[in-house]
Amino acid sequence: MTPTTETMVGIGGAAESTDMVLNIGPQHPSTHGVLRLKLVLDGERIVHAEPVIGYMHRGAEKLFEARDYRQIIMLANRHDWLSAFSNELGVVLAVERMLGMEVPERAVWLRTLLAELNRVLNHLMFLGSYPLELGGITPIFYAFTEREKLQHVMEEVSGGRMHYMFNRVGGLKEDLPAGWTGRARAAVAEVRSRMDRFDDLVLGNEIFRGRTRGVGTLSAEAVHAYGVSGPIGRASGVDFDLRRDEPYLAYGELGDVLKVVTREEGDCLARFECLLEQTHNSLDLADACLDRLAELPPGPVNQRLPKVLKAPEGHTYAWTENPLGINGYYLVSKGEKTPYRLKLRSASYNNIQALTELLPGTLVADMVAILGSMFFVVGDIDK
pLDDT at position 33 is 59
Name every residue whose Cβ is closer than 8 Å to that of residue 94 and which is 6 or more positions away in sequence.
316, 317, 318, 329, 330, 331, 342
Closest CA to 92 of 227, 326, 248, 253: 248
Residue type, 315: H
* Start-end of H helices in the chain: 60-64, 72-76, 84-99, 105-133, 138-158, 180-193, 196-197, 206-212, 220-226, 230-234, 242-245, 268-295, 347-353, 355-358, 367-372, 378-381
Q: Of 11-20, 113-122, 230-239, where does mean pLDDT reach its minimum? A: 11-20
pLDDT at position 4 is 56
Each residue of 318-351: pLDDT tens digit? 999 999 999 999 999 999 999 999 999 999 989 9
In the chain, % of residues over pLDDT 70:
93
State the Cα angle at 327 between 166 and 262, rounded to 5°.
110
- CA distances to 33, 242, 319, 326 from 246, rounded to whole Å, are 32, 5, 9, 12
Q: Of 30-34, 89-93, 228-232, 356-360, where does mean pLDDT reach its minimum? A: 30-34
Each residue of 132-146: pLDDT tens digit? 888 889 999 999 999
Residue type, 239: D
Give residue 11's pLDDT band: very low, low, confident or very high (50, 70, 90).
very low
Closest CA to 215 of 21, 366, 368: 366
pLDDT at position 44 is 87
Q: What is the pTM of this model?
A: 0.90
